[in-house]
Structure 1
Amino acid sequence: MTAAPRPSSVANPHIVDLFAGPGGLDVAATWLGVPVVGIEWDANACATRRAAGLETQQGDVRDFGPADFPEANVLAGGPPCQTYTVAGTGAGRMALERVLRLVKSMSVGERVDHRLARFDDERTGLVLEPLQWALHAHGSGDPYEAIVLEQVPAVLPVWVAMGEVLEGLGYSVATGVLRTEEYGVPQTRRRAILLARYGDEVQLPLPTHRPYRKGIARDLGSVDLKPWNTMGDALARTRGYGFSVVSNYGTGGDPKARGRRTSNEPAFTVTGKVSRNRVVDTLGTEVARFTAAEAGRLQTFPIDFPWSGGDIAQQIGNAIPPRLGAQILASALGMIHAIDDDFLGDVMERRWSGSMRSVVPSRD
């Protein structure tokens, strides 16, 4: 079988990150040495970004466009997921057909701003903002060289539809749902990913770790893949003992049957309710619940990442795990051969210094 062509690297990449949150993708970019500016409206997330030194434009993504970030040649974004999640209102999932029709309208040059405003929950339409940016940049004669988008699995049909539009503009596109534990994240979480490269081949990153299967030993599976990382691995510096986590959510369709995982397993998906999960030791004695630093660590943020502002658990739960972010960014930028498990493990263990740049004041 002929090997897949190796994508060339994006020359001098500079990322504009829409809906940047507290900085999951921006931390990943910093690890890779790639400049990034994030757009974020939430004051709490901006407080964290300010403390972390991540370059930020505070404001509504809809108030900006490609011309406001002329140095950016890479577009990234993780639009709000609340209306598409199973745990959320479901408004986005119910409106999926409308969203897909709007993608088609946008592909033929129709203005859809007035229709985006008609969603019962305005967050539903925000999933289309990255396509608006990509179309505007292409129409101006300065297309983004790479595009990276992530969301909950329910949004995959939207990414596929957007991918078809981008292919018509000259992009190579790869879409799919990735399992975070297969990329070394000590947590089971699934994310719908779109990667696009203008004029070059692109592919999703290949798994580096075995998939988690309850009841299956972590040392069983493909010899070509590493065992999944565990909560015990991630929290070895703060919890030097075995423990179990009792989920805040029900399992098996029974809201009273709380799921349970041991420290020898990956964490449940870290959500904004992570602070409600009970933690017990091996004797069944309840111990301290996860701190913000520990919850962030399960997301693969550095242990000393400076979480700030309010609603910190929600900030942590909303973020893309930086370790996964680094691998999808590296794939999109043609840098995947430059990073490996040792590299990611090393940067995660370093003290966080960030880019040491201040948040730009809000736009009036």
Structure 2
Amino acid sequence: MMIEAVDLFCGVGGLTAGLQRASIKVKAGYDIEEQCRYAFEFNNGSLFVNKDVSLVENSEISQYYSKGAVRLLAGCAPCQPFSKYNQGKDTSLDKKWPLLYSFARLIEANLPELVTMENVPDVVKHQVYQDFVTKLKKLGYYIWADAVTCADYGVPQRRRRHVLLASRLGQIELIKPTHKENWISVKDVIGHLPKIKAGEQSKNDPLHRAVSLNELNLKRIQASKQGGSWKDWPEELQLACHKKRSGSTYVSIYGRMKWDEPSPTMTTQCYGYGNGRFGHPEQDRAISLREAAIFQSFPDDYQFHPSDVKMQTKDVGRMIGNAVPVRLGEVIGLSFHRHLQSLSYGDKTDR
């Protein structure tokens, strides 16, 4: 039985690419960021609709599904209001808060057989999420939801995300971890890439480029060890804030990754050496945009902008950091196929 999907808040297509790897046809993706259109359509062959999800009409979604298909509505609303990085900040006026309510509205209007959403683990602490789950239950959905360690499923990254699967057809759950005792390491996925220096770009891949470092930061990374941090530096290279008690706990800032472990969580500023543990394990630079995309389990040749268009590093970094890891999307898709198989809807299995 064919599963067809519409991907709300689709971005550059991380979830879509993963679902399509799992043989789920994504008919359309919606996102407010027009810059995401090229990556979404070029890599996935699906329609991109540049529209605020809160403005999508209830009847609009149904046009994309074929008669007889099992319908999946996916919606990974922007996570910034729910992130731990916003703890202590007043996000009550954040325009992203109502987006989960818009998603619930579209579910209620269309009653797709399957639903998925993904967000930061702290989303469960907020009333909008509790209201979302309550609405699904009232609509007759069976729900599985939990925090997932992405490395347990083959994502080369220590990312933790909250995943929700829902079905009107019966009990559902995420497939069992595929890599729990065998995490994929930094070296496994980027060890083959050509060496570049800070401020350089690979001749063969415009996305394999690293931001430049000033003389002081170059000295700092040269003084850093694999898996180390600013604590490796001589005192004259340390920042004033590091010497304060409050700063001494931020050991990942200006850190290098380890070859034999997964990467840290990719953020929208993961290309910056001083923004976290984003130093290359050996080369004296921050990770490149291509490396960040690979840690998000995008294929090595995934294109984020046309070759004749130069995009700002910060814009591409935001696209990559905001994406759903492709492999996590694939795992979600395989879980839906396993669910249908258990109900005699199909014969897909996890792999």
Deviation at 1:299, TM superposition (A): 0.5
Give the aligned length. 281
Pairing 1:22–2:12 present: yes
> Does 1 or 2 have the higher relative contact order (CA < 8 Å, sep 6+)?
1
Look up the match of 1:120. Answer: 93
- 8 Å Cα contact 2:257/2:280 also seen in 1: no
Deviation at 1:200, TM superposition (A): 1.5
- 8 Å Cα contact 1:160/1:175 also seen in 2: no
Pairing 1:202–2:172 present: yes
- 8 Å Cα contact 1:292/1:307 also seen in 2: no
Pairing 1:232–2:187 present: yes
Distance 1:280 1:300, change over 3 A: closer
Equivalences for 1:112-261 in 2 at 5 Å?
Answer: 119-137=92-110, 143-157=111-125, 158-210=128-180, 226-238=181-193, 244=226, 254-255=249-250, 258=253, 259-261=255-257
Deviation at 1:128, TM superposition (A): 2.0
Counterpart Cα distance in 1 of 2:281 and 2:319: 27
2:124 aligned counterpart, secondary structure: helix
- 8 Å Cα contact 1:176/1:194 also seen in 2: yes
Deviation at 1:230, TM superposition (A): 0.6
The aligned amino acid for 1:274 is C
Distance 1:246 1:319, change over 3 A: farther
Look up the match of 2:40. Answer: 49
Counterpart Cα distance in 2 of 1:187 and 1:162: 28
Deviation at 1:239, TM superposition (A): 5.7
Gaps of 5+ in 1: 1-10, 96-118, 138-142, 211-225, 342-364
The aligned amino acid for 2:78 is P
Pairing 1:82–2:77 present: no
Q: Deviations over 1:302-343 (max 9, x none)?
A: 0100012540011100011010111112213436873545xx
1:232 aligned counterpart, secondary structure: helix
Counterpart Cα distance in 2 of 1:280 and 1:326: 27
Pairing 1:324–2:328 present: yes
Deviation at 1:155, TM superposition (A): 0.8
Look up the match of 2:61. Answer: 69
Look up the match of 1:297. Answer: 294
Distance 1:85 1:50, change over 3 A: same
1:136 aligned counterpart, secondary structure: helix
Pairing 1:312–2:304 present: no
* TM value normalised by structure 1: 0.69
Look up the match of 2:264. Answer: 268
- 8 Å Cα contact 2:149/2:160 also seen in 1: yes
Equivalences for 1:73-112 in 2 at 5 Å?
Answer: 73-88=71-86
Distance 1:247 1:298, change over 3 A: farther
Counterpart Cα distance in 1 of 2:82 and 2:325: 19
- 8 Å Cα contact 1:232/1:239 also seen in 2: no
Distance 1:281 1:20, change over 3 A: closer
Gaps of 5+ in 2: 66-70, 197-224, 231-241, 306-310, 342-346
Q: Deviations over 1:119-169 (max 9, x none)?
A: 4111122122211111122xxxxx200000011111124545433332222
Distance 1:146 1:54, change over 3 A: same
- 8 Å Cα contact 1:230/1:265 also seen in 2: yes
Distance 1:267 1:128, change over 3 A: same
1:178 aligned counterpart, secondary structure: strand
- 8 Å Cα contact 2:258/2:281 also seen in 1: no
Deviation at 1:49, TM superposition (A): 1.9
Q: Per residue, is there more strand in 1 or in 2?
A: 1
- 8 Å Cα contact 1:181/1:228 also seen in 2: yes
Distance 1:335 1:246, change over 3 A: farther
The aligned amino acid for 1:56 is F
Pairing 1:279–2:283 present: no
Counterpart Cα distance in 1 of 2:332 and 2:250: 34
Counting aligned pairs with the same residue, the percent is 27
1:67 aligned counterpart, secondary structure: coil
2:3 aligned counterpart, secondary structure: coil
Counterpart Cα distance in 2 of 1:297 and 1:164: 36
Q: Structure 1 residues 157-166 or 75-84, which shifts more?
A: 157-166
- 8 Å Cα contact 1:172/1:201 also seen in 2: yes
Distance 1:68 1:186, change over 3 A: same
Distance 1:263 1:340, change over 3 A: farther
The aligned amino acid for 1:43 is E
Q: Deviations over 1:176-227 (max 9, x none)?
A: 11110111111011111111011221112221222xxxxxxxxxxxxxxx41
Compute the RMSD of aligned alpha carbons. 2.9
